[in-house]
Amino acid sequence: MRRRLAAGNWKMNMTPTQGAAFIKEIAPLVAGAEAEVLFCVPAIDIPAAVEAAKGTNIEIGAENFYYEAKGAYTGEISLDMIKDTGVEYVLMGHSERRQIFGECDEMINKKLLAALAAQMKPILCCGESLEIREAGDTLTWIEGQIRSAFTGVTADEVKKTVIAYEPIWAIGTGKTATTGQAQEVCGMIRELVAKLYDAGTAEAVRILYGGSVNPENAAELFAQPDIDGGLVGGASLKLTFEKIVKA
């Protein structure tokens, strides 16, 4: 059985002090949850978040990193730096990194390969714009992103990778893909993994849905056969994230 994952992506929110206080406040609310609980936080928040999460069932992840081990890359952080804090999960391929910061499919593939080589736990994001959705090209677009990201990745490595489907048109807009739309794409992703690798790998990989997930719609979304939890943005900054975890 695939263990459910309730992952929060704080984006550029919460100071280290605020983040630590929030983790201490929500920890007793999610204690004993069946789902794995994760917050991916800004780099500067990581040490304080890790310290605040000690002794709880909350894990901390990084929102971003650079694929090179070290060097003249002003402003970037390496996997070794992240790993030294005790963090295991790392995000890559989020639409905001793709759109705002120009990260291409090739860079995301390099990030995934680097994270796997460092024995980190990658969360690979994929998703389509409203224009692609309305043109009927969603499944083709997502397949292209997945195929590119998994170039040079083995079946065993895919099993260690979490895939997060986030339709761009539903991120922070209040619009949510219908349960059917979310399941359709997540199911297609699982079928694609089976085609690229094998049925066992497809059955093992965890696939999340993200995009305006909230306490009201979480249970219905997570009840779908190919949705193993959520990658949650704004709602992960509130104590009501507890309800999403328990969904």
Closest listed residue to residue 129, CA positions, set 159, 97, 156, 166:
166
Cα(242)–Cα(31) distance, integer angstroms: 10
Instruction: Answer for the pair 5, 229: CB distance below 8 angstroms, yes or no.
Output: yes
Cα(50)–Cα(40) distance, integer angstroms: 11
Cα(83)–Cα(90) distance, integer angstroms: 10
Cα(174)–Cα(167) distance, integer angstroms: 12
Burial label, 167 (beta-carbon count in 10 A; 0-12, 13-18, 19+): buried
Residue 172 dihedral angles phi and psi, to the nearest 5°: 70, 10
- Which of 128, 157, 166, 242 is the catalytic position? 166
- Which of 94, 96, 157, 242 is the catalytic position? 94
Cα(98)–Cα(105) distance, integer angstroms: 8
Task: Using DSSP, state whether 237 is helix, strand or coil.
Answer: helix
DSSP 88-142: -EEEE--HHHHHTT---HHHHHHHHHHHHHTT-EEEEEE---HHHHHTT-HHHHH
94 in catalytic set: yes
Cα(213)–Cα(176) distance, integer angstroms: 7
Closest listed residue to residue 221, CA positions, set 168, 152, 170, 148:
170
Task: Provide the annotated active-site residues.
Answer: 94, 166
